[in-house]
Structure 1
């Protein structure tokens, strides 16, 4: 790897909110590598803009221009970008640089391409998805909702809650309201 950068580091907006552009970060990485966008053979994005319709490529000129502003790249505009399934991109970015020859890979987030959690098996041959859970069963969105309820803000509040976890007290608490009741009902009378 020659360079890596997140767009939010340049825009100074967390998660580069309200934009899908990665142009400034891409321009930085190309500059670090001493090449131009025209020298790149393939560009991949980690989401499917046509979801729920399966797609391996995106040829939407407007979206490509939004992602990679042509003005930053000598007005060069790729004709297409490769689409990598969102959770597969997460899994690959964790497994491949890990140094492990084989590993179980768990990806859990709010949702990406309709999926909220993926369990995969990583080997030298690549990643094999073993199981996926739909966004309707998202633990990430549940966690985000809890964080919002605690008053930590919206959309990115789960990151704040995760950061606070390290300051928590390791005492055990009994949460009776989360305990399943006999007969399969957990409703209170």
Structure 2
């Protein structure tokens, strides 16, 4: 599955990271590959270029809804020479292999967790963290699916409660063992896809 960058009109200040879409090329019989579609995951931001108008080269400028595709993905739905092509898109449930991944970074009492490989809705709207010596603590969104908190959680196994945009909550108990350290990634159970 390819990852894509989204224009400001779709990116929702990073909240949409992890969401999945089905795309197909439309309205151009010369360049579109008929009957094909691709599944992509939103992971990046396509910055506006206000030196151009939205119609004159500023593809990622508001109000445009634009997807920046890797070449390999683009070539599955259109001929590469075509350049910028109109697409039809729809949001779909994400299908992921393996469990949700929690990558822990930070230092001292600053803990940042990147949550990835999320099935179902794909995008996360709320996260709580719990050490063995704390209750459930809400984390704040840093950017995309990076969540942070200022708390001393060292030398405690960590549990996570993750809520996706469709309101489904999954709890991963003691995902990171007491001996966890910054820079490690842990995998836990997954949403139904």
Greater Rg by CA: 1
TM-score tier (shorter): under 0.3
TM-score, L = length of structure 1 = 0.23
TM-score, L = length of structure 2 = 0.23
